[in-house]
Amino acid sequence: VSEPPRASPGQGAEDGQTYEAAAARVEEIIRRLDSGEASLQETLALVSEGKGLIELCAQQLTEVGDALEELRLDELVSRLEHEAGA
């Protein structure tokens, strides 16, 4: 029996959206807006959605851009156990 795949690699716990999905949706939104075919209401909705997704992407980029954190496996296990105990 194979180990079940993780729910979604790179998935943000609070938003449920992966970076790749968010980035792809942003590109799709910009293509739609650039086409000039979106109505005013749709444009405003797409801009609002796009801003949210960009914030999400920026947040995830920030999380992997501050400082490299190197851990040994046993250190990670100890930390997780400590967090679980706390």
Partner 1 sequence: MATPATPVRAADEGIPDSGLAGPFAVGEYAAALRSKLRSFARVQLVGELVNLRPSRARVYFELRDATGAVACAAWREDWEAIAARAGEAPAEGMQVVVAGGCDYYPGSSTSSPAFSFAVRDLRVAGEGDLLARIERLRKRLDAEGLLEQQKLLARPLLPRAIGVITGEGGKARDDILAGLRRRGWSGRLVWGFAPVQDRHAAPAIVRALGDLAAAAQVEVLIVARGGGSLADLLCFCDETLCRTVALLGVPVIASVGHHTDRTLLDDVAAVSCSTPTHAAEAAVGVDCARARVEMAAAAARLAGHGRRALQPRAQIAEAAGRVREHGRRAVLSRARLLATLSRAPAAQLDRQRSRLHQQLREIRAGSRRRIADERLLGGRRALVLERKGTSSLHDCRERRPRELAQLSLALAAHDPQRTLERGYALVQALDGKSLASAAAAGQARDLRIRFADGVLPARVTDR
Which of the residues 1 through 30 are near partner 1 (CB under 8 A)? 1-6, 8-10, 18-20, 23, 26-27, 29-30
In eight-state DSSP terms, residue 7 is S
Judged on CB neighbours under 10 Å (0-12, 13-18, 19+), 29 is buried
Q: How far apart are CA 3 and CA 26, in angstroms?
A: 32
User: Nearest 5°: phi and psi at 12?
Assistant: -80, 135
Residue 61 touching partner 1 (CB under 8 A): yes
- Count, residues near partner 1 per rule CB under 8 A: 45
* Residues found near partner 1 in the complex (CB under 8 A): 1-6, 8-10, 18-20, 23, 26-27, 29-30, 33-34, 40, 43-44, 46-47, 50-51, 54, 57-58, 60-61, 63-73, 76-77, 80
